[in-house]
Every structure is written in structure tokens, then in C-alpha cells.
Amino acid sequence: MAVDLHPNLWPPFTQMASAAPPQRVTAGEGALLIRESGEPLIDAISSWWVTLHGHGHPQLAAAIADQAAQLEQVIFADFTHAPAEQLAVRLSELTGLQRLFFSDNGSTAVEVALKIACQWWVNQGQPRQQIVAFEGAYHGDTFGAMAVGERNLFSAPFEDKLFPVARVPWPATWWDDPHIAKKEETALQSLDSSLETPTAAVILEPLLQGAGGMAMVRPRFLQQVEERVRASGALLIADEVLTGFGRCGDWFASRRAGIRPDLMALSKGLTGGCLPMGVTMASEAVFNAFVGDDPALTLWHGHSFTANPLGCAAANASLNLLEENPAAFQSFEQRHRPHLEALAGHRRVEHPRLTGTVAAFDLVVEGTSGYLNPAGPTVKRIAMEHGVFLRPLGQVVYLLPPLCITDTQLEHCYRALRTALDQL
Ligand SMILES: Cc1ncc(COP(=O)(O)O)c(C=O)c1O
């Protein structure tokens, strides 16, 4: 058992026998986490990709405090409230999807999207069984989300409980990738053959698969996917839990990719990363199939904390910040680019890639590839010694900082990365 693990805590994604003891954090200020020792650490992955505007943001803190003094929670089945309505109006305008269904996190936002898609077909009297998903996908840790995600070490104990999914290759690409056209063609052919079976929905992470290794695809590929999905009559689900709210350089990755999903799952940056909340956006055409006299048409799904007013207030305040300064996310790619270009020639770097606020590359290392490759933890440790918090995904190293990170802090991250690579 790790020496300093708290006797009453069970941390996520952690093997307690071998993990380094967690460090106690006492505060957050902008891009910095402040440890109990007083030492700052640049949070270069936005605390699992959620912290959008930085830690301790005064406008977000004030919005939550004001709302807490007014109304902290109310059952959302018989009541409604202004922060939820305001958020629904704003997100329908921004996503082009008229209806908002609340849940609690990214996994539940995906679960709801899947349930809506399946029931949409049932409600119309023509149930369709098949769901199509992509290789390498990660959609969360609840059962439905696990089922559509790539099957791996994490999902193995539950394999017999996961519903079957048709799987299509994800043509991940990077700078100067000579094989991309062929990879996309293969993926589209696989999609075509999968769609010969009547399909309820196709689910994808637009532009960027996150946990699957910061694997980026070209917009044109997604447009070709959408054409095929439309032709098949299936619904298109965009899991924008990570990519939403500017992460990919536009409000939503779907928008940047030029696709129009029927359902969209959002979480993480939704509340500026302050409070747990998920939403599933749905088109009016999807919503309409759930309206009628027959109780069986109802979406019988809900969560205790549906539309929690504190979460809604944080989300509205976060949208204010994004609207006041869209350049913060629109121009982030230009901030990364010269640094990543400089690193791209390093002997330990291959497949450099960049979308919006997310810069990534693969480590050139010996041994097994994948999540358990030891090179990632080594890079993590060395970067930490230089004041930067990273969390590589196996041999995939990435930076995904909060929008507020200063140029000096960003430079510091890349310097620490170079030092780690030199020492590998
Ligand atoms: C694309 C995507 N979907 C869903 C999830 C699950 O979100 P949560 O961890 O909030 O359940 C994640 C989490 O990383 C994600 O990246």
C-alpha cells in the first residue's frame, strides 16, 4: 500500500500498491496549483481537462456564492429556475440544438445521449439495435459509456456486461502524415459496411479523441462520416465532453469540423470546471418523438441533482467569460505552435499534432506502446520536479492548459518538457 495514502480514501484510476502518494493541494490561482509545501505547480492539463479559465476565478466564485445564497438546489421535475433556463437558451443558440437535458458528468451525458438515440427509434415503432463507435474511443466509465468506448484493461472485468458495438477505425493524424488519405479511406469503407446494418446512432469525439491518446482527425473526414450517417438515417452523437467550450479552438469541435450532430454530450468545461454537471443537447426533431399521450414515449431518466442551480450559475458565468474574450480560445493554437514546432525535431518526439488548446506528440521509446508504457511516468516525474503537472497517456504526452495560462508559464511548460525528453 502506498505509504501516504489516506486510510479512508480510494483514489480514481490508481493502483494503490505502487502509486506515488498524492500531494496535498491547498489552493489554486489561475494556472497554478499551490501545494501544502507552498510550492506552485503549473496545472498543464487543466485538472483532468476541466479547469477552463484557471483556478480560483473570481467571477466564477462570485457567481456560485451569489447563487448559493439565493437557491442552492431544487427538484427539477416540478420546478424550474432562471439559471437553468438562461443556460438552455444560450447553449441552444451556441450548439444549434434546441433541447437541453441535464445530468451530472461526462459519462452520464453520454449515457443520456445513447438512451435518447435508442428510444427515439423505439418511439417511432422501428427499433434499431446497432450502435457504431470508433476504435480508441473513450466516452466514460458507466456501463453504456464503457460499451461504446474502446475495450481495454479498464473495461475487461465487465466485458460480458457490455452491449455489442460495431467498431470503425479512427484515422488519427499528425503533422506531415503521408498515409492519412489511405487511413481515412479504410475507415470510411469500414463505416459503409457497418452502416449496411440498420443503425440507431453513430457516436464520435469530434476532431480529438482524448483519453484514446489525443488522437486527432481532419475535419473533412468527419464531414464524410456525417454524409454517410445521414444517408443511413442513423443519429449522429458528438461526445464534446472534452472538446466543447473552446478546447479545440472554436466553441465546439463539431462547429470547427463543419458537422451538425443530432445529439451532443457536454461536461468538463461546461461550468468552467468548477462544479460537476453534464448536459445532453438534442435537436427538436429528436425531442418531438418523446412527446405524446402514451406514457411509454417518455424519457424515463433523471438525476437527483438535475439542473443544480449552482452548476447552472457557474456555467452561465463561464459562458460570459468565453463571450467576453473568444480570442482566448480562438488564438490558443498560435500560442502553442512555435513551441511545438521547436520540440518536433527532438529525437524523442514523433507525430506532433495540435488542435486549439491541445498540443500532443508521441514519445519515441522502446518497449510496449500504450497506457502502461513506463516512459510517460518518467516524463511526468521530471516535469513535476520542474514545477509542471503533466499526466501522459502511456507514451502520448500532451499539454491542455487553462485558457488563462500566461506566455511565461506556457514557455516554462515546454522548457520542462524538453528537459524531461533530454533526460529520457
Ligand atoms: C470524450 C469524453 N467523454 C466522456 C468522458 C467522461 O466524463 P466524466 O469523467 O465526467 O464522467 C470523458 C472524460 O474524460 C471524455 O474525455
DSSP, residue by residue, 198-253: -EEEEEE-SSEESTTTSEE--HHHHHHHHHHHHHHT-EEEEE-TTTTTTTTSSS-H
Burial of 78-105, coded b for 16+ CB within 10 Å and e otherwise, reads eeebebbeebbebbbebbebbbbbbbbb
Which of 103, 248, 268, 391 is the pocket-test mutation for ligand 1 (most atoms within 8 Å of CB)? 268
* pLDDT averaged over every residue in the chain: 96
**114: part of which helix (H) or strand (E)?**
helix 106-123
pLDDT grade, residue 123 (50/70/90)?
very high
pLDDT grade, residue 140 (50/70/90)?
very high
- Amino acid 209: pLDDT: 98
Helix (H, G, I), strand (E, B) or coil at 317: helix
The closest-lying atom of ligand 1 relative to the alpha carbon of residue 107 is: 11
User: Does the pLDDT at position 109 exceed 60?
Assistant: yes
Q: How far is the CA of 424 from the centre of ligand 1 (A)?
A: 30
User: Does the pLDDT at position 1 exceed 70?
Assistant: no
Q: How far is the CA of 129 from the centre of ligand 1 (A)?
A: 24
C-beta of 107 in contact with ligand 1 (< 6 A):
yes
d(CA 206, CA 256): 9
The closest-lying atom of ligand 1 relative to the alpha carbon of residue 48 is: 14
User: Does the pLDDT at position 368 exceed 80?
Assistant: no
User: Does the pLDDT at position 56 exceed 80?
Assistant: yes
Q: How far is the CA of 262 from the centre of ligand 1 (A)?
A: 19
What is the amino acid identity at position 109? A
Per-residue pLDDT tens digits for 205-248: 999 999 999 999 999 999 999 999 999 999 999 999 999 999 99
d(CA 137, CA 147): 10
Alpha helices, H only, 210-361: 219-232, 253-257, 284-288, 309-324, 327-330, 332-344
Query: How is residue 272 written as a grid cell?
Result: 468552467
Helix axes 407-423, 375-385, angle to 10 degrees: 130
The closest-lying atom of ligand 1 relative to the alpha carbon of residue 205 is: 1
Q: Which candidate, 159, 162, 217, 225, places its Cα nearest to that of 190? A: 225
**132: part of which helix (H) or strand (E)?**
strand 130-134
d(CA 285, CA 294): 18
User: Does the pLDDT at position 3 exceed 60?
Assistant: no
C-beta of 150 in contact with ligand 1 (< 6 A):
no
Burial of 367-380, coded b for 16+ CB within 10 Å and e otherwise, reads eeeebebebbebbb
C-beta of 317 in contact with ligand 1 (< 6 A):
no
Q: What is the DSSP secondary-structure string of 58-110?
A: HHHHHHHHHHHHH-----TTT---HHHHHHHHHHHHHHS--EEEEESSHHHHH
- Cβ(105)–Cβ(12) under 8 Å? no
Q: How far is the CA of 259 from the centre of ligand 1 (A)?
A: 21
- Amino acid 311: pLDDT: 98
Q: How many CB atoms lie within 10 A of CB 2?
A: 15
Q: Which candidate, 206, 171, 164, places its Cα nearest to that of 190? A: 171
pLDDT grade, residue 300 (50/70/90)?
very high
**331-405+416-423: CATH architecture:** Alpha-Beta Complex (3.90)
Q: Can you tell me the mean pLDDT for 92-107?
A: 98
Q: How far is the CA of 190 from the centre of ligand 1 (A)?
A: 26
For the chain, domain boundaries: 61-324, 331-405+416-423
User: Does the pLDDT at position 369 exceed 80?
Assistant: no
By DSSP bridging, strand 40-43 and strand 388-389 are parallel
pLDDT grade, residue 4 (50/70/90)?
confident
Q: How far is the CA of 108 from the centre of ligand 1 (A)?
A: 9
Q: Measured between alpha carbons, how far is residue 391 from residues 10, 48, 207, 379 in Å? A: 19, 9, 21, 9
Lowest mean pLDDT among 2-16, 42-56, 346-360: 2-16
- Amino acid 180: pLDDT: 98
Which of 154, 267, 303 is the pocket-test mutation for ligand 1 (most atoms within 8 Å of CB)? 267
Per-residue pLDDT tens digits for 387-398: 999 999 999 999
Which of 104, 208, 237, 242 is the pocket-test mutation for ligand 1 (most atoms within 8 Å of CB)? 242
Instruction: Give the fold, CATH level 3, of 61-324.
Output: Aspartate Aminotransferase; domain 2 (3.40.640)
- Amino acid 159: pLDDT: 97
Q: Which candidate, 408, 418, 409, 404, places its Cα nearest to that of 332? A: 404
Query: How is residue 178 written as a grid cell?
Result: 503521408
d(CA 381, CA 247): 26
Q: Across the strands, what pairs with 361?
A: 397
d(CA 93, CA 247): 18
**What pTM value is reported for the model?**
0.98
Q: How far is the CA of 105 from the centre of ligand 1 (A)?
A: 8
pLDDT grade, residue 370 (50/70/90)?
low
In this structure, the chain runs to a length of: 424
Q: Can you tell me the mean pLDDT for 164-192?
A: 98
Q: How far is the CA of 317 from the centre of ligand 1 (A)?
A: 22
C-beta of 242 in contact with ligand 1 (< 6 A):
yes
User: Does the pLDDT at position 177 exceed 60?
Assistant: yes
Q: Can you tell me the mean pLDDT for 27-54?
A: 97
The closest-lying atom of ligand 1 relative to the alpha carbon of residue 108 is: 11
Q: What percent of the chain has pLDDT over 70?
A: 98
d(CA 233, CA 200): 8
